[in-house]
């Protein structure tokens, strides 16, 4: 029996990038909107996750800030995850508004 499979090969490449770099990662869940908006600086990574559960109607917010070299976050430096400053600032405003109401 012959079976077709897909292999993923990691390779190193040099890219040109400006900091801060913004990304958006949609986790694509079925019952939940869950999106991470991130900002990558040379030695710092900030991620804001916004979640909305369609079944319960609940919203949740998560903030993660870590000291981490930018080159360790290369998985987000692709066209697929390219985000923008406006989207990141909007996510930050929603997070801050939720914290204010808590």
pLDDT of residue 3: 84
Closest CA relative to residue 46, chosen from 83, 92, 9, 2: 92
pLDDT in the model for residue 6 = 87
d(CA 46, CA 1): 48
Q: Is the pLDDT of residue 102 over 90?
A: no
Residue 84: pLDDT over 90: yes
C-beta neighbour count of 101 within 10 angstroms: 6
pTM of the full structure = 0.87
pLDDT of res. 26: 95
Q: Is residue 61 over pLDDT 90?
A: yes
Neighbours of 22 (CB within 10 A): 20
Per-residue pLDDT band at 48 (split at 50, 70, 90): very high
For 48, phi then psi, to 5°, come to -120, 120
């Amino acid at each position: 029996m012959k079976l077709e499979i897909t292999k993923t090969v990691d390779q190193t490449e040099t890219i040109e990038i400006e900091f801060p770099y913004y990304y958006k990662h949609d986790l694509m869940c079925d019952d939940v909107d869950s999106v991470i908006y991130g900002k990558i600086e040379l030695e710092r990574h900030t991620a804001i996750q916004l979640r909305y559960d369609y079944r319960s109607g609940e919203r949740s917010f998560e903030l993660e800030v870590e000291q981490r070299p930018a080159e360790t976050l290369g998985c987000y430096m692709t066209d697929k995850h390219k985000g923008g400053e406006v989207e990141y600032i909007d996510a930050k405003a929603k997070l801050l508004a939720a914290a204010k109401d808590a």
